[in-house]
Structures are given as C-alpha cells and as structure tokens.
Structure 1
Amino acid sequence: MVLWSVRTRRDGPVLHVELYAPETGNAVTEAMLDELLEAVTAPGPEVRVVVLSGAGDDFCLGGDWLEDAPAGRGIRVAGEKARRVCEAISGNRAVTIARVQGKAVGAGFALALACDLRVGAENASFRLPELALGLPTAWGGLLPRLIHEVGAARVRELILTGRAFDAAEAQALSVLQRVVPENELDQAVEAWAKPVVRRPEAALRVTKALLNSYAAATRMADPAFLDAELMASVAAAGRRTPPRTPGPDQSHS
C-alpha cells in the first residue's frame, strides 16, 4: 500500500514513522490510521526502535472525522481503528519513542501516550478537548493508560477543564519523560535509541512484554474495546440537539 499521510524511513534498526499532513496539523483521519497500522505492525525482528513523530509545527492536532457520517458511524469506525493502532504501538516488540513538538491534542495526545518513551520540545503542549466538543474521552485506550501513568485525580482535572498544559507540566505528570529545546529533539531520541538497539532481540521483546503485563495488572479495568461505541453513541445523541459553535480555543478532538 502506498502511504500518503504517513512517511516511514529505516535507519538500520530504527524505524522512523512520521505523521505527514502538516497542512492540517497532522489531523488523524481513517486513512492515516490505516497507514499507521500498516507502518507499526510487525516491523520485523531487526527493528529495535520505532520513532513516532509529526511533520510541521505540531505533532498532531487531533481527529478529523467528526462530520463524515450520520449517527456516529464515522467515529465508530475510526475509533475501532484507533484502538488497534494504539495497541500496535504500545504492544510493539520494538521500543516506541514519541518525538513531540508543538501541540498534541486529543487523538495526537493518545498516540504519543501509547509510546514507551516520550520526549517533548520546550514548546510542546497537550490538551484533551473532547468534553467541550460533546464527546467522551474515549479514543484508542487513552483514558486507562493516562490514569495509570498520571493518576486519577490529575486526569480528572485535565479532562473536566480541558485546559492545555505545557511541556514542563507534562514532564511533572510523566506524560513526558524528557523535555529539551526543539533543535535537540533528534539528539534526545538518538540518546535513547543507541543503547536500545544494542539489546538482544529476544531479551528486548520479553522485557517489553513483562513491562506491559505488569502495567496492565495494576489497572482495575481497561474497557478500551468500548471506546469506539461510547464515542459514536454520544456523538449520535449530540446530533439530536442543536449544535453549539465551539470557542476559538477548541481544536480537533
């Protein structure tokens, strides 16, 4: 399949996967999800690291399928694809690294959070605008993963207020593990990738499986398989009420 909104590049044992729709802020579409799934699924035993990045000024401004079908069908289809993509990233046999610059909003936030390691530029910011857009925060298994990484009390505040937070706060919340000037993002990714690519494939694969298993064991529940249905149901209900014009600060979800 020819990839149009995702670009890939192999650099030895490192696979670079770039969201490539800078004219829309790398807004996630169904086509992009299809391409992402193909790019990150089973990269091969020789690939030790997968780097996820976004072209242009922003990592990803969120999802771009809210108006494409009645009764929430578009959201339901895209939501199911999103779950498969995020599971392919988080469960990848390779170590996955998110390289974040600019804004990571909604679906973009979820894609970054699905990665094992996350480095952000000093200008990076994050936001979960779904509630303001009339949708639940249910995309790609984001909510259980975010609660596990950040903590329920802080996640509750971020979702209910929908406020943006910067890279420094993201690091304090463990959304990011490292923050660097934007011109040092590639060096930071390389500093993480260098020791990982020297690890034996079998040991790396088993270690990742153990880390994922232990993380899953600490969650009370992970109903990510319901995300698409929840979003679609709420979207369909919202269409039966008069539309509300979003404020100027509301990006894609």
Structure 2
Amino acid sequence: MSFVLIDKPRPHVTLITLNRPERMNAMAFDVMIPFREALEEVGRDNDTRAIVVTGAGRGFCSGADLESPGRIPGIEGLTVSSIALRSMELLDDVIRAMRKVHQPVIAAINGAAIGGGLCLSLATDIRIAAEGAYFRAAGINNGLTASELGLSYLLPRAIGSSRAFEIMLSGRDVDAAEAERIGLVSRAVPADKLLDECFELAERIVNFSRPGIELTKRMLWSSLDAASLNAHMDHEGLAQLFVRLTTQNFEEAIKARKENRPPTFRD
C-alpha cells in the first residue's frame, strides 16, 4: 500500500494525498519521507503549475504517530540524542520542501489538522477547509511545548500574535468557522465541494504567467523574513522588472483586454 498518492485531476494541477486513513494520516516516517519525495518530484514536473495537498479519510494529518512512528533511515550506530535530532530534521525538511517547490501549494484540509498536521497546513501557500475540519496545537496537551516544525513562526504570521499565543497555550480546538474568521484558512466550504473548490482555484492560478506566479509566491514568503519594508521593496522591484523586461506578458495582457479575450501568456 502506498502511503502517498499522486494524481493529475485537472490539466497542470497535481493532487498529492496522504494515504494512511486508518491513522488519520499521522506523521509516521513511512508517510512523511515519501511525502517529501513526492513534493520534490512534483516540483520538478514542469507540466505541474499548481499543487493540491489533502488527506485520505476523515483526517488531514493528525500529527505525530505515537503508536507506529515508522522506520527512521540512516540511524545505525547513533545514540538516542542523535536519533532524535535526525528525526526532527527529517520532519523539518517536509516543511521546507513545501515552501521550496516552485508551484503554489493549496491545502485541502478535509478533517483534523493536529500538532504537526497544523504545521503542515501552515506551510502550504493557501488553505481551504471542509466545514468539519478543525485545528489544534497539540503539543501543550501532551506535556510538551506547542511549538514544533515552525509553528511558532508560521502561526503568528498567519493570524496575529495574540491569537497564536492563545491557541498554542490553551491547546483548544479551532473549528473551520473560526479558522475562516481569524484568517487561518481563506475559506471553509462543504466537505463534498472541498476538492472542486481547490481545483478551481488551482485552475485559475495556472492560467497566469509561470514566472509571475512563481515569483509572487517567492516574494510573499520572503516578506515574512524581511528585515524592513525598504529591503523587501528592493526584492519586489527586481522580481517585477525581471518579468516585465524578459517576457511579452504585459503587452499580451493589454492586447487581450482591447480584444476582449483571455490573455495567453507565453512567458
């Protein structure tokens, strides 16, 4: 049985599904390593212009698998301390891979996104949730810190610091309606419409210029790390000049508007 499935449901759109529904797609290494490899593979596929990530069954991802964590590769001869470090690095690499792929990544959050699953959802570029989905920063409930896999970096930037502190320190559930209200997801939709909503958004994105979309994703993430507005504006300006001066996209957009037709960007 493959724990990660790759499909192409629409032209230029790739769907990656975490496929361990009996464990609510928990972050066992047998799931997360193939998932990272799938992201890297799809990221190299130049026919893919947008990526949708979801979970099979009733959960998006339920965080750490405490019963069946799977096999950690390359740990022969290491002590517990080193094994722990290698384990965390493997999971951190999944978060980094999501951010590194050229294409926008849309999370179709079909159910519970708990602990590391919440982190996984936050590492995507756009989040759309089914109405029955919910989110929990679960580490605090397990006697640990709530911060893991970049959560204390990503969550305040998504919803603001006060809300992030409250959610992470209380360990409470955030349902889909609240998640939409506070900006944790862009919208909540009926479960039976979730994938179609994500595919339709992906199809809208793929109609635009490839470098325009890829550089916009890069600039948005870069803004979260920017030391100042001035520093970030320099990066934005260079990105805009790059696309403006190396393609005929702008001219095509103007011509298409005059001719009352959709533009065809050839980059």
What secondary structure sits across from 1:28 in the alignment? coil
What is the aligned partner in structure 1 of residue 7 from structure 2?
A: 9
RMSD (Å), alpha carbons: 2.2
Asked if residue 48 in structure 1 is aligned to residue 57 in structure 2, the reply is: no
CA distance in 2, matches of 1:73, 1:27: 23
What secondary structure sits across from 2:61 in the alignment? coil
Could you tell me which amino acid in structure 2 is paired with residue 170 of structure 1? A
Do the aligned partners of 1:65 and 1:74 also contact (CA within 8 Å) in 2? Answer: no
Out of 186, 190, 194, the position equivalent to 1:181 is: 190
* Count of residue pairs brought into register by the alignment: 217
What is the aligned partner in structure 2 of residue 29 from structure 1?
A: 28
Do the aligned partners of 2:13 and 2:199 also contact (CA within 8 Å) in 1? Answer: no
TM-score with structure 1 setting the length: 0.79
What is the aligned partner in structure 2 of residue 158 from structure 1?
A: 167
Mapping of 1:92-111 within 5 angstroms? Answer: 92-111=101-120
Q: Larger C-alpha radius of gyration, 1 or 2?
A: 2
What is the aligned partner in structure 1 of residue 222 from structure 2?
A: 213
Higher helix share goes to which structure? 2
- Name which of structure 1's ranges 7-16 and 114-123 shifts more when overlaid on structure 2: 7-16
What is the aligned partner in structure 2 of residue 200 from structure 1?
A: 209
CA distance in 1, matches of 2:210, 2:27: 31
Q: How has the CA–CA distance of structure 1 residues 218 and 113 changed in structure 2, closer, same or farther, with 3 Å as cutoff?
A: farther
- Aligned identity (percent) is 29
Could you tell me which amino acid in structure 2 is paired with residue 169 of structure 1? E
Could you tell me which amino acid in structure 1 is paired with residue 133 of structure 2? A
CA distance in 2, matches of 1:75, 1:55: 28
What secondary structure sits across from 1:52 in the alignment? strand
What secondary structure sits across from 2:185 in the alignment? coil
Q: How has the CA–CA distance of structure 1 residues 74 and 135 changed in structure 2, closer, same or farther, with 3 Å as cutoff?
A: farther
CA distance in 2, matches of 1:198, 1:218: 33
Do the aligned partners of 2:52 and 2:199 also contact (CA within 8 Å) in 1? Answer: no
Deviation at 1:34, TM superposition (A): 0.9
CA distance in 1, matches of 2:97, 2:115: 18
Do the aligned partners of 2:95 and 2:149 also contact (CA within 8 Å) in 1? Answer: yes
Mapping of 1:25-174 within 5 angstroms? Answer: 25-41=24-40, 42-65=43-66, 71=80, 75-174=84-183
